[in-house]
Amino acid sequence: MDVLVCGGGIVGLAAAYELAERGADVTLCEKGSLGNGSTARAAGGIRSQFSTRVNVALSLASKPVWDAFEERFGVDIGFRKNGYLFLARSEATAERFRENVRMQRELGAASELLTPAEAAERCPGLDPEPFVAATFNPEDGVADPNLAVQGYAGAAREAGAEIRTKTAVTDVYREDDRVVGAEVREAGEAGGTASERLAADYVVNAAGAWAGRVGELANVDLPIAPRRRQVAVVEPSTPVPESAPLTIDLETGSYFRPERDGVALVGGHFAESDPDADPDGYDEGMEIDWAAGAVERAGAYADYFGPETRIRRGWAGLYAVTPDHHPVVEESAPGFVTAAGFSGHGFQHAPATGRIVADLVLDGGTDLVDVSGLARDRFERGEALTERSVA
């Protein structure tokens, strides 16, 4: 079975590894370098506190891999389990939190409901006053996406996958509706390119924010939009302890988490508008006005971010967003598997997704997670899910 994986981010690499491990002949093509898309720009959050069963299931199916990553792949990804702390300002959100915790616990997650005072025990700089409830899971945390890329890439190569960087998929060939291969173009040393046709029984679209474009090559219309998101690295006026959780004020969308030595990452999307970005030509830098606003919002509920807080640097990356904040994971056309549109959660869901892609290609279905609700025709059928726990 020849499989061509398009995209060398965490999702494509996890899929390439799982496929090669199960005996498929895998070629992964990445148009730039490994992880240089959204993966390198992620905040590294890993959690099982989602509001829909399928997202929680993807988290729980990924968890064993994150928990034993170093043993399995020989790379320490710096996974720090400080927990995620979600905060609710209104009774309506608190009610949803109660339902979420019930559902998450039923599926096996260690989530708990907290009072604002208990939340402040977990995050000592937190002002509990604006909040009415919180949820916490001590098993959630953050890891380094670049190291995870290295781990998966090494394991995929060891399992026999061929990984080709600076090699773009430029066309997808179909015969009698079935995918039979792709045109790939490799950028040469001297600036030229060389095209070749690769035969494949399956092409996997793991192109993240570019997935819509890759879908078009196979005449598959995907509702996946590239949306720009920013992160700031700040030196807070009071150092954020390294043990503090990733803390999200859900109703404003503001979040922060500790880095090392008291430094923190601060993020959130606050603008009313959310236009599509051009994944090949968006501003990868952080806007200082956005960063000042993000720090001010964080300072409104956490004492760490007083007026002396200094903005050190930052960056922007892309979420691959679908209308219901769930990915499309399916065989979209015969021989064409899509695994994209993770809407800001794709780093953490990559281990389960890699296995699911391998199951779809090699077995025609999967029993790891029920992904029937992740087919793209859910939007036409009016059966879209809505993930509300997003930042």
Ligand X SMILES: Cc1cc2nc3c(=O)[nH]c(=O)nc-3n(C[C@H](O)[C@H](O)[C@H](O)COP(=O)(O)OP(=O)(O)OC[C@H]3O[C@@H](n4cnc5c(N)ncnc54)[C@H](O)[C@@H]3O)c2cc1C
Residues making contact with ligand X (CB under 6 A)? 6-12, 29-32, 36-39, 41-45, 168-169, 206-210, 214, 229, 231, 317-319, 340, 342, 344-348
Q: Is 353 helix (H, G, I), strand (E, B) or coil?
A: helix
120 or 214, CB closer to ligand X?
Answer: 214
214 or 240, CB closer to ligand X?
Answer: 214
- Torsion of Cα atoms, 57 then 62 then 63 then 64, to 10°: 120
CB of 132 to ligand X, least distance (A): 25
Q: Is 278 exposed, middle or buried (0-12, 13-18, 19+ CB in 10 A)?
A: exposed
CB of 29 to ligand X, least distance (A): 5
CB of 74 to ligand X, least distance (A): 21
155 or 169, CB closer to ligand X?
Answer: 169
105 or 164, CB closer to ligand X?
Answer: 164
Q: Is 166 helix (H, G, I), strand (E, B) or coil?
A: coil
CB of 95 to ligand X, least distance (A): 26
CB of 291 to ligand X, least distance (A): 13
Name the β-bridge partners of 45.
142
Q: Is 82 helix (H, G, I), strand (E, B) or coil?
A: coil
Distance of CA 136 to the CA centre of its chain: 20
Name the β-bridge partners of 333.
336
Distance CA 166, CA 146 (A): 18
69 or 347, CB closer to ligand X?
Answer: 347
**Distance from the first to the final alpha carbon of the chain:** 39
CB of 182 to ligand X, least distance (A): 9
44 or 181, CB closer to ligand X?
Answer: 44
Contact (Cβ atoms closer than 8 angstroms) between residue 195 and residue 183: yes
